[in-house]
Amino acid sequence: MNRKIYIYALVIFAISQLASFAQSNINISAGMPVKQGDSVFYIIDRPQYVISISKYLSVANWAAWHLDKNDYGKTGRTSERFITDTTLPIQYYRATHSDYTNSGYDRGHLVPSNERTSTKEANNATFYLTNIVPQTPDLNRLVWYQFEKYCKTLAVDSNYTLYIVAGGVYNDSSWMNEKIAIPDSCWKVALLVSNKNTLSDVDSTTQTIAIMMPNINGLKGKKWTQYITSVRNVEKATGYDFFNALPINIQDAIETKVYKIKPEPAKKKKKK
C-alpha cells in the first residue's frame, strides 16, 4: 500500500478515536499529526493548543496551534516560573521548573508566549512544561525567536491565518538530568491561509513554510532563513504526516515546495 494512503488511513482512525475534541478544536482543524507505530502518547487538549506527549521521552512529540492577528494582545508575558502539568497521567513524568535549572538548556516554548497574549489565561497556558522542550540558548533566543517574529509579521501585517505544528527530532537519545529527552534539532511547519480564505479554499497554490534548526550553540550571526526546508522533508525526518485533513493531492502539491522569502524593496537613497 502507498505510504501516503496508509498514513491517511491512520489519520482517519486517529481522528475518529479522538472525535470528542478533534471536531471542535480549531488548533488541529488542518489535521492532527500521526505517525506509523506511534502508540504511547498522551493528548493534551486546550483551547490554546493541542499537544502530544511522549511517555518515553517525557517531552512533547508535537504541539499544534492556530494563529491569527487576534491571538496577539496587550497581556504580555504573565509568568517567569514554569508550571508542572498535573493533567498528565501518573505513568508519565511530570517535568518541573527546577529540572531545567543550571542544565545549560533554556525552557524553549513550542507554542510561543507572545502568540498567546490576547488574555492572561491564554498566556498562562504557554507556561505549562508540557509545552516546553530543552533548547540551547542560541537556538531559543536567536534563530528560533527570529522565526516567531516572522510568523507575527505574517499574521498581523499580512493578515494570514497560520496552522502550525512544532516539535523536536530525537535521534541521539541525549537526556537532561536523565529524565527529559533533548532534541537534536527543532522543527516547525505552517500552513498559510490568506485572510479572505478558509481551509476549504486551500489548493495547490497555497503556501507552506517549514524550518529545521539544529539544537546547538554557535548560531550567532545565523538567519532563520538558512534553515528553511519543505514540509515533506520534515515529515521524512520525523515520521509524522502533517495537514492530513487536506486531500492527498493537495498535500503533495504544497508540502513539497520550499518557501521563498520575498525580497525587501530597495531603500531609496536620500538626496544630498
Q: Would you name the residues annotated as active-site residues?
A: 109
Smallest Cα–Cα separation from 175: which of 81, 105, 85, 98? Answer: 105
Residue indicated by cell numbers 500552513: 191
The Cβ of residue 42 has, within 10 Å, a number of other Cβ atoms equal to: 16
Distance in angstroms (rounded) separating the CA atoms of residues 164 and 174: 26
Distance in angstroms (rounded) separating the CA atoms of residues 115 and 122: 9
Q: For the chain, give the number of residues.
A: 272
Contacts of 185 (CB under 8 A, 6+ apart): 168, 169, 212, 213, 214, 215, 237
Smallest Cα–Cα separation from 74: which of 117, 116, 105, 111? Answer: 117
For the purposes of burial, counting CB atoms within 10 Å of the CB of 161, is it exposed (0-12), middle (13-18) or buried (19 or more)? Answer: buried
* Cα 232–Cα 233–Cα 235 angle in degrees, nearest 5: 65
Secondary structure (3-state) at 229: strand
* Cα 199–Cα 203–Cα 209 angle in degrees, nearest 5: 80
Q: Which of the 8 DSSP states describes residue 196?
A: T
Secondary structure (3-state) at 144: helix
